[in-house]
Amino acid sequence: MSQYAHPEVLVSTDLGCLLHLAGGLNRQGVRLRCLHLAEVLGGS
Amino acid sequence: MSPSAVGFREASARAVLDPALREAIRRVTDNLAVRRVQVTAELPHFDVLRDRAKRIKEHTLANLDRYLEQLEAAVRARGGHVHWARDAEEAAACVVRICREAGARRVAKSKSMVTEEVELNRALREAGIEPVETDLGEFVVQISGDRPSHLIAPIIHKRREDVAELFRRHLGTPADAPVPVLTAAARAHLRQAFLQADVGITGANFLVAETGTVVLVENEGNARMVTSLPRVHVAVAGIEKVLPRLADLAVFLPLLVRSATGQRLSAYVSLLTGPRGPGERDGPDVFHLVLVDNGRSRVLADPELREALECVRCSACLNVCPVYERAGGHAYGSVYSGPIGAVLTPALTGGRGLVDLPFASSLCGACRDVCPLRIDIPRMLVALRARAGQTAEARWERRAARVAAWLLCRPRLYRWASVAARVLEPVVRRVPVGALRRWARGRDLPRLSPTPFHRAARR
């Protein structure tokens, strides 16, 4: 997915999903920041 | 149900690395799922049938003792014999005893998941009786020493070339034989099995309490041969298969067939009531019905899981499950695979597979949406997860959750801890903790943001 859409950030509200998504993307060598909604609201 | 050598986690991790397996599964399940949507959409009252079926099943299960006794009386009144089997051993031993008393050396079987569940073929062979599976898929499973990997398409995991090679070795067909040649060879081989069999063994899609009727739904005609040629017919069925009245079939047959194969009706539907009667031209001299409990009473007594007994084994939930499509049926380590298998296996066995099967799901809910009985599989998977959390294997998770709950209830301490965590983060990241290694295999621990959220939110 990420190879085609070229997003910069992936945002989710589910911590469990984020852990898996970040882990999976990282292991496939896809550079994509995975953030929790709180991090976006918090301005990071 | 023999215990699997490895758990779901390992078996599925291996299966996802096999693109050919995934392609084979996807081809069949997509086809079945699309046909199901087409033929259910053409019945405007399909949802009415579903609601009706649900009420019938709930009523029947709530009065199961009464309907089973009515069934028993009806079968006896028509000259049949009824046997009750508490568990898998009793069920298999009962069929073996019937075969011995009939002097049987060869038996022909039609497709039946409950006989897989009680491992009947093994018991028969140990007693010196040769069982022959006559459903084409089950025949392939048998000659390859394999196990079925789908409720209604048992060799979904095999390619055409695999079957051609098997038939070359067992039936002497050419290695490059096209499918019609292969099926013709199987037909000729199985014809002998029907003619030579002393006993025919079937399962039952439904049992009708009112009339003592065994209902068989099939497409190959082999079940009809198995129940009309041999002298003795033995039907083996789980106690949850009973329906109160013959008229209930008008609700359940369209639901089952349309949800299972996407046909309007299967090629054959047989209603078998007792042995051959006076003046009837075919059918067995003797009829036995073996009613199998094997954990079903326990599930019936379990309010959270009772709904699983409403399953008619149509396999619609397998065909839409993203986890089944990737893991394949064998990974579930049980004759019952897919979403309903992930519930049935721990439920029927009182806990086998409890540590991983309830987690073999993303809880997306597709299984519940397509189930003709609207069985709430995700709800039961969550209930089973809660039970898995109470096992000894989960004690560290339980302790961690208790510590977290304690900390989260103390805001001031939590703030201190969040400062401490930021100081200690680089150190913690470098410590390889053995127990966490498996957890960390597929996950990345996110970096803590420099400012805690509660402080940023206050600004």
Looking at the fold, whether B3 and B85 belong to one and the same domain comes out as no
Q: What is the mean pLDDT of chain B?
A: 94
pLDDT score, position B207: 98
Tell which phi-psi region holds residue B221, choosing left (phi > 0), alpha (psi between -120 and 50) or beta.
Answer: left
The DSSP-derived string for chain A is: -HHHH--SEEEES-HHHHHHHHHHHHHTT---EEEEHHHHHTT-
Any domain includes B53 = no
Q: Are A38 and B453 an interchain contact pair (Cβ–Cβ within 8 Å)?
A: yes
Dihedral, CA of residue B254, residue B255, residue B256 and residue B259, to nearest 10: 110
Q: Are A22 and B449 an interchain contact pair (Cβ–Cβ within 8 Å)?
A: no
Any domain includes B48 = no
Domain assignment of residue B157, given as a range: 66-294
pLDDT score, position B295: 98
- Which residue(s) pair with A9 in the sheet? A33
Any domain includes B54 = no
Q: Are B457 and A42 an interchain contact pair (Cβ–Cβ within 8 Å)?
A: yes
Q: Residue B276 carries which DSSP code? A: P
pLDDT score, position B1: 43
* Lowest mean pLDDT segment, chosen from B31-35, B249-253, B415-419: B415-419
CA B429 to chain A, closest CA, distance in angstroms equals 15
pLDDT score, position B199: 98
From B443, B450, B451, residue closest to A19, measured CB to CB? B443
Amino acid at B44: P
From B442, B446, B453, residue closest to A42, measured CB to CB? B453
Looking at the fold, whether B417 and B403 belong to one and the same domain comes out as no
Amino acid at B440: A
pLDDT score, position B323: 97
Give yes or no for a contact between B372 and B50, defined as CB atoms under 8 angstroms apart. Answer: yes
Looking at beta carbons, which residues of chain B come within 8 Å of A34? 444, 446
* HSE of B148, CA atoms in CB hemisphere, 13 A: 26
Looking at the fold, whether B324 and B399 belong to one and the same domain comes out as yes
Q: What is the ipTM of this complex?
A: 0.77
The larger pLDDT score, comparing residue B456 to residue A21, is at A21
Give the pTM: 0.90
Any domain includes B250 = yes
Q: Are A38 and B445 an interchain contact pair (Cβ–Cβ within 8 Å)?
A: no
Looking at the fold, whether B72 and B169 belong to one and the same domain comes out as yes
pLDDT score, position B433: 66
Residue B68's nearest CA partner among B203, B212, B188, B216 is B212
Q: Are A19 and B457 an interchain contact pair (Cβ–Cβ within 8 Å)?
A: no
pLDDT tier, B122 (very low <50, low <70, confident <90, very high otherwise): very high
Name which of A19, A21, A27 to mutate to probe chain B: the one with the most chain B Cβ atoms within 10 A of its Cβ: A19
- Asked if the model's pLDDT at residue B117 lies above 60, the reply is yes
Looking at beta carbons, which residues of chain A come within 8 Å of B440? 23
- Asked if the model's pLDDT at residue B198 lies above 70, the reply is yes
pLDDT average, residue stretch B397-412: 93
Q: Are B453 and A34 an interchain contact pair (Cβ–Cβ within 8 Å)?
A: no
pLDDT score, position B3: 43
Q: What percent of chain B has pLDDT over 70?
A: 98
pLDDT score, position B437: 73
Interface of B with A (CB under 8 A): 440, 442-446, 449-451, 453, 456-457
Of the residues B294, B327, B350, which one is the last residue of a structural domain?
Answer: B294
pLDDT score, position A44: 57
Q: Are B456 and A43 an interchain contact pair (Cβ–Cβ within 8 Å)?
A: yes
Any domain includes B433 = yes
Any domain includes B133 = yes
Report the distance separating Cα B374 and Cα B7, nearest Å.
28
From A23, A36, A39, residue closest to B442, measured CB to CB? A23
Any domain includes B49 = no
pLDDT score, position B424: 87
Looking at the fold, whether B257 and B348 belong to one and the same domain comes out as no
- Asked if the model's pLDDT at residue B275 lies above 80, the reply is yes
- pLDDT tens for B167-182 read 999 999 999 999 999 9
The sign of the torsion formed by the CA atoms of B340, B346, B348, B352 equals positive
Please report the number of interchain residue pairs, chain A to chain B, with beta-carbon separation below 8 angstroms: 35
pLDDT tier, B386 (very low <50, low <70, confident <90, very high otherwise): very high
Give yes or no for a contact between B323 and B377, defined as CB atoms under 8 angstroms apart. Answer: no
Nearest CA in chain B to A15: B446
Report the distance separating Cα B277 and Cα B78, nearest Å.
9
pLDDT tier, B434 (very low <50, low <70, confident <90, very high otherwise): low
Any domain includes B52 = no
- Reduce the DSSP state of residue B283 to 3 states and report it: coil
Looking at beta carbons, which residues of chain B come within 8 Å of A20? 442-443
Report CA-CA distances (Å) from B229 to B2, B54, B226, B379: 32, 36, 6, 45
Of the residues B369, B392, B409, which one is the last residue of a structural domain?
Answer: B409
Q: Which helix (H) or strand (E) holds B82?
A: strand B81-85
- Reduce the DSSP state of residue B414 to 3 states and report it: helix
- Asked if the model's pLDDT at residue A3 lies above 70, the reply is no
How many independent structural domains does chain B possess?
3
Q: Are B449 and A23 an interchain contact pair (Cβ–Cβ within 8 Å)?
A: no
Structure tokens that stand for B330 in this block: 């064998």
- Asked if the model's pLDDT at residue B454 lies above 80, the reply is no
Q: Please give the backbone phi and psi of residue B236, each rounded to the nearest 5 degrees, phi first.
A: -115, 130
- Reduce the DSSP state of residue B285 to 3 states and report it: coil
pLDDT average, residue stretch B51-58: 98
Residue B374's nearest CA partner among B429, B328, B310, B450 is B310
- Reduce the DSSP state of residue B18 to 3 states and report it: coil
Domain boundaries, chain A: 2-41
Give yes or no for a contact between B264 and B46, defined as CB atoms under 8 angstroms apart. Answer: no
Looking at the fold, whether B258 and B149 belong to one and the same domain comes out as yes
CA A6 to chain B, closest CA, distance in angstroms equals 21
Say which CATH number the domain at B236 has. 3.40.50.10420
